[in-house]
């Protein structure tokens, strides 16, 4: 178990978990699965101890609010695994610990606009997975998200299943039925709170049956969307209905009127900064992290701040940042100062809205040094201006979706090195509604990308219709020629 081998094949895992690390270019890769992204003080110190034991300079918050450990030189010692299990950082079931983290808004339970606090559902679904080791046959990429209907939405995140609260007692079911990386869409099914976990269980069991019936590569298991694509949504719904037994089961259909209940894509920076919670006298402090990185000093510092001035918890976000919730209003100024002492900032700046995959240093598919290029880009842009509205910049080393560049306001997409040309980037804008967005340049060097993005953001700030206009709205109303003109001299 502690040797990082797949328990069935004896081979290294493709999609890693704490019990089954994967081999990457920079060493072994593994992840700590943190349901709902919430850490307590004990867990923060356990992560710091783990870093010391494995000589890691930093860990990374992922776009699923996991903690990722890269560059390990050997498998984790069994004593470390025991310690992680004891404090809840490793699953009680080795079979299902690898299933992707359960996602929710980092502001659930504290957002005054939220319809339903989904934390009990996160705990209940996690308990279901632990109690059903047979679901270990599912793809590790199987993912579930709970959106309580608050101001910080995860509906645009590419989960296989998302439950969106549409009233204070009801959720709308969304399934991934499109292309890889697409956000799930409504299938017209409303669920009472008590029916959510039974429905998720029935879908998971139907998915398991699909994997067993359709076969395929046992190491690269079919995704849920692939099972639905082969069977069709109607047949998949029939299978789930048969599995569910007692549920009053409506037909799965893509219903445009129901889908319209879904809100527009969330802007990921809305959770950052200081804002009032629904609990009187308490505030949440959104902390920005460069590429999701935290060193042990910062992790221990966040734990100490939360223990003294908050509720003893830290929340990780699907945008690779962190929140300190439940801070007494009168202590917010002190907390901001302590965070600055840790090298962490509060508010909307460039670097906390920047996402990058592992790139060439850590991944065999990476054509560019995305991590290094992203850090240089952040430093360059922050020397040029301050953002007054958040926007997303995603840096991807290849055409895979690890950095989710298809959803970005600005996307850099790695181009491999060729004769006479170093590795560089395609530049696209307006992702999300237009898939990969519109391509402004098919190749720019890393240095040229910094200049290009600087010009685009300056043009946005100078030419937007109003201070409230988003970058996405700005680029949508501009023609391709107008946007390319901004970059004409590069």
Better pLDDT: 285 or 392: 285
Q: What is the pLDDT of residues 395-414, one digit of tens each?
A: 988 877 676 656 678 999 88
pLDDT of residue 405: 56
Mean pLDDT of 157-173: 95
pLDDT in tens, 183-218: 899 998 999 999 999 999 999 999 999 999 998 776
* 3 state SS for the chain: CCCCECCCCCCECCCCECCECEEECCEEEEEECCHHHEEEHHHHHHHHHHHHHHCCCCEEECCCCCEEEEEECCCCCHHHHHHHHHCCCCCCCCCCCCCCCCEECCCCCCCCCCCCCCHHHHHHHHHHHHCCHHHHHCCCCCCEEEECCCCCCCCCCCCCEEEEECCCCEEEEEECCCCCCCCCEEEEEEEEHHHHHHHHHHHHHHHHHHHHHHCCCCCCCCCHHHHHHHHCHHHHHHHHHHHHCCCCCCCCCCCHHHHCCCCCCCCHHHHCEEEECCCCCEEEEEEECHHHEECHHHHHHHHHHHHHHCCCEEEECCCCCEEEEEEEHHHHHHHHHHHHHCCCEECCCCHHHEEECCCCCCCCCCCCCHHHHHHHHHHHHHCCCCCCCCCCEEEECCCCCCCCHHHCCEEEEEECCECCECCEEEEEECCECCECCEEEEEEECHHHHHHHHHHHHHHHHHHCCCCCCCHHHHHHCCCHHHHHHHCCCC
Quote the pLDDT of residue 367: 87
pLDDT of residue 163: 97
pLDDT tens across 39-73, in order? 999 999 999 999 999 999 999 999 899 999 999 99
pLDDT, tens digit, 9 for 90 and up, residues 103-152: 999 999 999 999 999 999 999 999 999 999 999 999 999 999 999 999 99
Mean pLDDT across the stretch 273-293?
93
Mean residue pLDDT of the chain comes to: 87
* CA–CA dist 78, 276 (Å, integer): 43
Q: Is the pLDDT of residue 285 over 60?
A: yes
pLDDT of 124 reads: 97
Dihedral-angle region of residue 281 (phi above 0 means left; psi in -120 to 50 means alpha; beta otherwise)? left
């Amino acid at each position: 178990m502690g040797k990082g081998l797949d328990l069935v094949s004896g081979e290294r895992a493709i999609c890693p978990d704490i019990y089954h690390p994967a081999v990457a270019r920079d060493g072994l890769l593994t992840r700590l699965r943190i349901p709902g992204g919430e850490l307590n003080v004990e867990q923060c110190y356990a992560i710091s101890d783990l870093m010391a034991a494995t000589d890691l300079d930093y860990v990374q918050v992922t776009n699923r609010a996991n903690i990722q450990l890269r560059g390990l030189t050997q498998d984790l010692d069994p004593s470390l695994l025991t310690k992680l299990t004891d404090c809840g950082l490793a699953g009680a079931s080795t079979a299902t610990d690898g299933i992707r983290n359960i996602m929710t808004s980092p502001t659930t339970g504290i957002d005054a606009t939220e319809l339903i606090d989904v934390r009990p559902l996160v705990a209940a679904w996690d308990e279901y997975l632990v109690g059903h080791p047979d679901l270990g046959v599912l793809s590790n990429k199987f993912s579930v998200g709970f959106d309580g209907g608050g101001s910080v939405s995860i509906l645009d995140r590419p989960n296989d299943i998302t439950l969106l609260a549409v009233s204070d007692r009801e959720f709308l079911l969304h399934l991934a039925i499109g292309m890889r990386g697409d956000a799930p869409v409504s299938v017209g099914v409303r669920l009472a709170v008590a029916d959510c976990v039974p429905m998720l269980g029935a879908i998971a069991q139907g998915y398991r049956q699909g994997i067993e019936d359709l076969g395929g590569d046992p190491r690269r298991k079919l995704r849920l969307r692939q099972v639905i694509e082969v069977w069709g949504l109607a047949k998949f719904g029939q299978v789930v209905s048969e599995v569910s037994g007692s549920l009053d089961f409506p037909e799965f259909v893509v219903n445009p009127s129901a889908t319209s209940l879904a809100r527009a894509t969330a802007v990921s920076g809305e959770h950052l900064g200081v804002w009032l919670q629904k609990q009187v006298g308490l505030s949440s402090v959104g902390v920005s992290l460069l590429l999701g990185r935290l060193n042990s000093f910062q992790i221990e510092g966040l734990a100490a701040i939360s223990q003294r001035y908050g509720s003893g918890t830290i929340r990780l976000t699907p945008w690779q940042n962190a929140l300190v919730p439940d801070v007494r209003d009168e202590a917010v100024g002190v907390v901001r100062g302590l965070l600055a002492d840790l090298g962490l900032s509060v508010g909307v700046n460039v670097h906390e809205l920047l996402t990058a995959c592992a790139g060439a240093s850590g991944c065999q598919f990476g054509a560019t040094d995305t991590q290094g290029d992203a850090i240089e880009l952040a430093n360059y842009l922050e020397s040029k201006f301050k953002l007054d509205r958040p926007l997303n910049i995603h840096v991807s080393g290849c055409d895979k979706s690890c950095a989710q560049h298809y959803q970005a306001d600005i996307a850099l997409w790695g181009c491999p090195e060729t004769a006479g040309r170093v590795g560089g980037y395609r530049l696209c804008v307006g992702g999300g509604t237009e898939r990969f967005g519109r391509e402004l340049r098919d190749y720019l060097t890393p240095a040229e990308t910094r200049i290009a993005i600087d010009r685009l953001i300056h043009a946005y700030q100078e030419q937007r219709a109003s201070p409230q206009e988003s970058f996405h709205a700005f680029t949508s109303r501009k023609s391709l020629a107008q946007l390319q003109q901004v970059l004409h001299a590069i």
